[in-house]
Amino acid sequence: MNIFQYGKNRYEYELIKENRKTLSLTVKPDLRTTLKCPINASAERIENFLRRKWSWLEKQLNYFRKHQKPESKKEFISGESIWYLGRQYKILVKSSLKNSISLDKKHFYIHSKYPVDETISNRLIVNTWIRSKRKDVFNNRFQEMKTRFDYKMTPKLVIRDMDKRWGSFISESKIVLNPKLIHVSTECIDYVIVHELCHVKYKNHSKKYYEFLSEKFPNWERVKSKLELSTT
């Protein structure tokens, strides 16, 4: 990790040098900060860029600090919220003869045969439902996005926890998606899938790669920005 000092403020960020002309700064909901820059970018250019972006960086970090509650600390009780496919729902736990999940426009209902304040049971009910939905949603979107390409063979879809990426192109035989994508919109899921499928043809983020991405997913920059601001 690299360190950026601005006044009394100190920031850690990951520096990625790649074949590009511009610098970009992103902040993930878990507060991870990444700076991408040209391979030959000088330390002075990077420092000046960070100083210009300081106000925006501090605003993004404060937003995520204020709004995000780590999933591990959720108790899954009535009154909490949960994100599913880009929408935020209020959790309501109800007694029931069997365990299940249901949704309406505003609420995420946990129907439990256990005491409604038993957080371990509530978490298990939610996680079981999310895993099932995740498999169906990801597979359906993957099949749909594949139709945008004329590949004779397409990679296999794999779902796996990743700390720093929404998706990853492993090889012509495997593309990995982050399970947390189930919390963002289908538009964002589609973008990640198409982004990785473009790597079947272009392995790096070259100019031709981005031209290909723009062809297969017009206005991808807007969706990428939306994804980077997603609260999961």
- Separation of first and last alpha carbons in the chain: 24
Provide mean pLDDT across the span 58-72.
Answer: 71
> Residue 29 burial by CB count (10 A; 0-12/13-18/19+): exposed, middle or buried?
buried
Provide mean pLDDT across the span 200-209.
Answer: 90
Q: Which residue has the tokens 């007694």?
A: 95
- On the CB side of 230, CA atoms within 13 Å amount to 25
Tens-digit pLDDT profile for residues 110-160 = 999 998 888 888 999 999 999 999 999 999 999 999 999 999 888 899 999
Tens-digit pLDDT profile for residues 81-112 = 999 999 999 999 999 999 999 999 999 999 99
**Cα separation, 161 vs 149, whole angstroms:** 26
Ordered domains of the chain (ranges, CATH): 2-67 (no CATH), 71-132 (no CATH), 138-228 (3.30.2010.10)
